[in-house]
């Protein structure tokens, strides 16, 4: 099982559309996946109790148990926000790192997919995210997929860019066997 984490809490995001395409491609290759939408996180999560495992919002523990603790591989689909990655993703990583810190990300592998309206496909944001993931013990897959000009590649809520889908399919096959 691979957890696909949509790295934004924006509703109707293009990251969600790309995450569903990734899930579809994995399913076609016989690989199981699950999608975690950060938009579903409770707003009460942003509270000082998030830093104590005994008082965390129960949904954080549930998400941690389902999407983090029980898998060995992650795919992060991350839009560019102000030259980096969204703060909600950092908040989520911080929150799930409180309980069972050493077993959450340590020894696990993450594939990073960046999307942006601009021409770099969130290259800088993925660098920032890689540093955070490495710090909590995860390794990052050596290849990253940068998807620039995302607005032109999503039509009718479907990610349809043939070139990017071909590269994505190849990278997913390599990541699954990594």
CB 116 within 8 A of CB 79: yes
Count the Cβ atoms, other than its own, within 10 Å of residue 164.
22
Determine the pLDDT at residue 155.
Answer: 85
**CATH code of the domain containing 157:** 3.40.50.360
CB neighbour list of residue 29: distance below 8 Å, 6 or more residues apart: 172, 173, 176
The answer to whether the CB of 94 falls within 8 A of the CB of 48 is no
Sites in the chain below the pLDDT cut of 70? 46-47, 49
What's the chain's Rg over C-alpha atoms?
15
Give the count of domains, the chain: 1
What is the C-alpha to C-alpha distance for residues 116 and 102, in angstroms, rounded to an integer? 32
Q: Is the dihedral of CA 19, 8, 73, 151 positive or negative?
A: positive
Full domain range(s) for residue 20:
2-176
Taking a C-beta distance cutoff of 8 angstroms, is the pair 114, 144 a contact? yes
pTM over 0.75: yes
Per-residue pLDDT tens over the stretch 56-75? 778 888 888 999 999 999 99
% pLDDT > 90, the chain = 67
């Amino acid at each position: 099982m691979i957890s696909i984490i949509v790295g934004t809490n924006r509703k109707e995001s293009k990251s969600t559309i790309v995450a569903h395409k990734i899930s579809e491609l994995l399913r076609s290759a016989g690989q199981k996946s699950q999608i975690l939408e950060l938009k579903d996180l409770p707003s009460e999560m942003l509270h000082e109790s998030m830093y104590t495992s005994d008082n965390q919002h129960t949904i954080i523990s549930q998400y941690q148990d389902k999407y983090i603790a029980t898998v060995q591989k992650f795919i992060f689909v991350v839009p560019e926000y102000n030259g980096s990655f969204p703060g909600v993703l950092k908040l989520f990583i911080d929150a799930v790192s409180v309980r069972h810190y050493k077993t959450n990300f340590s020894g696990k592998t993450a594939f990073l997919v960046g999307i942006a309206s601009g021409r770099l496909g969130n290259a800088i944001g993925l660098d920032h995210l890689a540093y955070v993931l490495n710090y909590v013990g995860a390794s990052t897959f050596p290849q990253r997929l940068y998807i620039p000009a995302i607005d032109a590649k999503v039509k009718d809520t479907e990610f349809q860019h043939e070139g990017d889908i071909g590269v994505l399919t190849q990278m997913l096959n390599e990541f699954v066997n990594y």
